[in-house]
Every structure is written in structure tokens, then in C-alpha cells.
Amino acid sequence: MKRLLAANSGSIFQICKVFRKDPITPLHRREFTMVEWYKVHGDYLDLMKGTKELILYLVRELELSPTVSVMGKGVVHLDGEWLSMSVSEAFKRFSGIDPLAIDPKELRRYLEELGLMVSPEDPWETCLHYLFVAKVEPSLAQLTKPVFLYHYPIALSVMARPSPTDPKVCERVELYVGGIELMNGYSELTDPYEQKRRLEAEARKRPGHWPIDEELLKALPLMPPVAGAALGLERLLMLLFGGRDIGDFLLT
């Protein structure tokens, strides 16, 4: 899709099958359906606006209640204002830790105090994920409004554009409804040299997981400013219809 953007396609989208080697849970299947779209001359703020408009459009067209039951554990109100907070703000609010300020050793010590098993080999990003799952995600599940998390640490977003106001974070956003992630998106990084540097850094951390896509790097300088997002359709349908397992909503 990025190569199409570089060929002057304009804003585009696709609905397609995705395959992941993940454990099967009520929220995960190894094959699922995703809608992915790119907005030319847009940014992560446009993705937030567009995602909300898309979900509320479906609620209206399908004549559904704007109050949804989240896997039988609580309700979330889709009407009215939605919440938004930076990732740093969310961590400080729900765990007392600022991910942009804490030393990696202090983070490991804090996780051990929580009773979480961490390895000295676990990188900072993995430790931060453990803390997110243990403290932040359960707190997001208690919110009765959808919430956008934005300005992720740049180390967690290989292909996202850095924020012009803070080089430690990037213009990435995720939507959570009842603690369930629905959408992930970001203002796209179009600097081929910075993109290659980041991909090479990821390849060193996880050999075999991040092959360098040379065709993508050639296309990046030709891309317009653009933002891209991906949203899991089965998860969205499960929430809108009050389901408890995405397996009941798989699209064929």
C-alpha cells in the first residue's frame, strides 16, 4: 500500500485477511480480518477523528445502541466525547511510573516488586509492555468512554514519524474500548535513512523478524505526507453486538 501511495494513488484502503502466530483467546485468532487505510496529507489526529466517525457511522447504520457491553464485564458509552491521553500520562496515572523518565534498571526493579518475572535479557520495551499489561490495560478497562492513547515512546514505533515537539515520542495512536485495543495507527515516517536505521536496530534485537524491505525504502521519498491506521473488524463487531469471543464474528 505504501508503494501505491508513492505511485500517487491518493488516499486508499483495503479490507483483508491477516495472519498472526498468536495463542487463540477470546480476543485473538491466528486468522482475522482488518481494515487498513491511509489518508494523504493527514496525521495521527486525523486518524483519531476518522476512527470515531467510522464507528459511530456503523452504530447509526446498523441501528445499534451506542452503549456497548464489553465481554459481559462492563459498559462503554460511544456517544458524546471520547477520551484521549498521552502514553506517558496513562502510565503515570495508572502505574505511577513515567516511561520516558525511568531508568531500565529501576523499571525491572519495579516489576519485580509487583511480582512479575523479568529477565535481565528482557529489553526496556518488553519490560514496559509487562507494566502496561499489569497496570495500564486493566485501568483502561474500567473507563466508560473509549480512549485514544497517543505519543508512544519512539522505541515502540518502528515506522512512525517523530513528534516535532518532543523527539522522545512519535505520532502514533491506539484506540481502546473497555480495555480492548481496536485501532493502531500513526503518521508515517517517510525518511528512508531514518527508516533503515530503525529497521536495522530492530533486526539486531530480533534476528529474522525484521527483514529490510529495500523496495519500501526506495518508495518512501516519493510518498506524500500520510497517516495510516489498521482496525480489527471482528473485534469491532464483537463489541458493537455485545459478544464475548471474536470467534463468533469471524468473517469468511
Q: What is the mean pLDDT of each run of 10 residues along the chain (252 residues)?
A: 95 95 92 97 98 97 96 93 97 92 87 86 87 94 97 93 94 97 97 92 75 89 96 96 95 84
Question: Are 245 and 151 within one domain?
Answer: yes
CB atoms within 10 A of CB 184: 21
**Alpha-carbon distance 197 to 81, whole Å?**
39
| Domain co-membership, 168 together with 238 | yes
**Are 64 and 113 part of one and the same domain?**
no
Do residues 94 and 170 share a domain? Answer: no
Q: Do 18 and 123 lie in a common domain?
A: no
Tell me the CATH number at 192: 3.30.930.10
Give the structural domain span for 206. 2-82+145-249
Per-residue confidence (pLDDT) for residue 210, from 0 to 100: 65
- Check whether residue 174 and residue 124 sit in a common domain: no
- Which is nearest to 233 in space by CA: 32, 66, 59? 32
φ and ψ at residue 171, rounded to 5 degrees: -85, 65
Which tens digits make up the pLDDT trace of 161-196? 999 999 899 999 999 999 999 999 999 999 999 999
Task: Give yes or no: residues 177 and 56 share one domain.
Answer: yes
> 45 and 150, same structural domain?
yes
Beta strands in the chain (DSSP E): 12-19, 31-40, 67-69, 75-77, 83-86, 147-153, 169-177, 180-187, 226-232
pTM of the predicted model, to two decimals? 0.94
**Mapping DSSP to helix (H, G, I), strand (E, B) and coil, where does residue 220 land?**
helix
Output phi, psi for 97, to 5 deg: -115, 135
Residue 100 shares a structural domain with residue 204: no
Q: Give the domain-ending residue among 68, 103, 137.
A: 137
- Inter-residue contact 220 to 190 (CB < 8 Å): yes
Query: Which pLDDT value is given to residue 180?
Result: 95
- Would you state the pLDDT for residue 121? 79
